[in-house]
Amino acid sequence: MKIRILLKSYLQLYFQNFLYLTMLFSIIAFELLANHLLEIGNLKKFSLLLIAMFILSLFSTMNLYYNDSRQNKYLKQKINSHWADWSSQLLVAVITNLFSSILIFIFSLLLRDNVLVDFVGILGLFSVGFLGSGIATLFQTQWYDHSTVGQIGVLLFIYLAFSGSVVNILTAVEWLLPPLSKIIMTLQVTSSITKLLPIVGQTLLYAMILFFISGLVYKKNRKNA
């Protein structure tokens, strides 16, 4: 019951000020025009879509927590369950990213008869979207008690996500960094989207760990409040 009420509220907040839908439809418009505007192959196009998906979910999830901090204070007091709140945040991330990744992949004109390619394509988009949501969830404190820490954290993670496999100095600790750039770099040297499967799994695991850490950190904060 508690999760249902919070999930409904979160989904309402996600769509509330059209930021998500505007960004999503801008991406769809871009991918429909990309073949005509840019002379790039399917893999390069898919790389751009992965970056767009990451940014879409990061900004939309940040917007969700911004709306949440302004509107849901008393609802959460009534619900009074940290883990119901955390589960709802996780479910919203899964539902919205699944919706976005399916829609973006369909309109990317990359759909093939090969089910595995389609599955890995959608899963790849979903994983980077889930990663963006995980970062926004971990640093949701930017809209609550510690705005500076939250904002610096998001900026740092965005930088690390894009530069992890590009900046030489970071390659030694690459496994610690958000694997977005690793997916992009792998796409540049591979011939098929299906080769991404292991890194997609790593990305999903990484995002899930971010969600778990946020669950533990904010449970502790709530106890201290």
Partner 1 sequence: MKLISVNDLSLQIEGYFAFKHVAFSLSQNEIIGINGDNGSGKTQLLEAIVSNKTPDSGTIDYTPGVRIGYLPQENPQVIEQSTGKYLEEMRRLSKKLAVRKDQLQAMITYMGLSPYLDTPVNQLSLGLKRQVDFLSAVAGHPNVLVLDEPFAFQSEKTIQRMLDLIIDLKNNNSGIILSATQFDKRIATNFDQLYLLDGDLKNIAAEQKNEPVSLLVFHVSPNSMAITPDVEDFLVSNQDNQIELEVPLKKRQIILNKMVQLNYQFEGMRKIEN
- Residue 142 near partner 1 by CB under 8 A: no
- Residue 79 near partner 1 by CB under 8 A: yes
Distance separating the N- and C-terminal Cα atoms of the chain: 25
CA atoms of 71 and 81, how far apart (whole Å):
17
- CB-CB contact of 92 with 64 (8 Å): yes
Q: Which stretch binds partner 1 (CB under 8 A): 77-85, 115-123, 135-143, 158-166?
A: 77-85
- Residue 70 near partner 1 by CB under 8 A: yes
CA atoms of 133 and 63, how far apart (whole Å):
11
Among 60, 61, 72, 140, which residue sits at the site for partner 1 (rule: CB under 8 A)?
A: 72
Closest residue by Cα to residue 107 from 203, 26, 197:
26
- CB-CB contact of 28 with 104 (8 Å): yes
Among 1, 37, 172, 189, which residue sits at the site for partner 1 (rule: CB under 8 A)?
A: 1
- Residue 78 near partner 1 by CB under 8 A: yes
Q: Which stretch binds partner 1 (CB under 8 A): 8-16, 25-33, 50-58, 102-110?
A: 8-16
Q: Which residues bind partner 1 (CB under 8 A)?
A: 1-2, 5, 9, 12, 16, 70-75, 77-79, 225
